[in-house]
Amino acid sequence: MRTSRILLAAGAAVLVWGEWVNWRSSRRLVGSAIGTSEVVVVLGFRNSAPTVNAMNRWRVRAGLRSCTPRLDTRMVFCGGAVGGVRSEAELMAAYAREHGWSGPVALDTTSRSTWENIENAIALIGDADRIKIVSNPLHAEQARHYLAVMRPDLAVRLVRGAEYRFGEWTVVKPLFAVVGYAKRGRRPVPLTR
């Protein structure tokens, strides 16, 4: 009986930790830029099937709920055909259209990493007053860091997306946290010119 209580308490602690880490990451490297236009950049996840996978569907939904009503919003979907025949960007854009998005869309269909997602998206986001990067929170934070390294002038326009929701993907959030922390050690150093 005591062992089961300890295991239950440990499991609950891990889930709470996962929520906290993801919540905190969703609020890092963002500001409060204002303006009349925004771009919501949705980062893809390896998609080997000919249809959009569960992770990419969730990221698109998070991107859609990140759009601010009454602003001129464009969605940018990033991801090449890393795991399948069709690019992640094309699959996610089609899913967004199926779920009611009728606004402008831009695609990065060639990137094969988060660094390339941001590198290729720069040409698609430079004219927006506000920039939101959407993925799971630690991945989005990593991408915001990459934008700050590549283009600090654009990074000042970063605002928070709506990828974090308490209780959503709770069981997986500890894994997101562990993977996110592991990747922090592999971030590129700031570029020098």
pLDDT number for residue 156? 97
* 9-45 pLDDT per residue, tens: 888 888 998 999 999 999 999 999 999 999 999 999 9
| Residue 177 pLDDT | 81
> What ranges do the domains of the chain cover?
2-184
Alpha helix (H) ranges present in 47-190? 54-66, 88-98, 114-125, 137-150, 152-155, 173-184
Q: What is the CA radius of gyration of the chain?
A: 17
Q: State mean pLDDT over 163-189.
A: 77
Tell whether the model's pLDDT for residue 189 goes beyond 80: no
pLDDT in tens, 45-65: 998 888 899 999 999 999 999
Fold annotation for 2-184? Rossmann fold (3.40.50)
26 Rama sector, left if φ>0, alpha if ψ -120 to 50, beta otherwise: alpha
The tokens of 5 are what?
A: 């209580």
CA torsion sign for 122, 109, 115, 62 is positive
How many C-beta atoms lie closer than 10 Å to residue 100's C-beta? 8
Mean pLDDT, all residues of the chain = 90
